[in-house]
Structure 1
Amino acid sequence: MLEQLFAFSTRLEFIYRHVWQAHDLVFWDNRSIIHLAAGTPDHLRRKLYRTTIEGDAPF
């Protein structure tokens, strides 16, 4: 069952790939997504801030 769920969750129609530009800001909810940092050129540094908020369960 886990294999089926993983295969379903990684279908192309569910994938978003961000094309980074200067001054971009991206937010995501770790409770609802699978996150993979990819596509950032090695010579560029990313500045990351992690914020955790309390609230309702994701929908």
Structure 2
Amino acid sequence: MSDNQTKGTAKEIGGTIKEKAGKAMGDDRMETEGTGERVEGKTQKNIGKVKDAVKDQFR
């Protein structure tokens, strides 16, 4: 698992928690920020997967 995958997973989890907390408290801004962080984390995680796949092809 690459550094991007690890950081992406952490950011995705943090974003999910923030999104759920914002929804529970009725805080639209927090919910939106959490959604953004979750998507950003998922993207970073996928970049890590692609990098790993490319590395594996050139071994």
TM-score, normalized by the shorter chain, greater than 0.5: no
The structure carrying a bigger helix percent of its residues is: 2
TM range (shorter): under 0.3
Instruction: Say which structure, 1 or 2, has more relative contact order (CA 8 Å, 6+ apart).
Output: 2
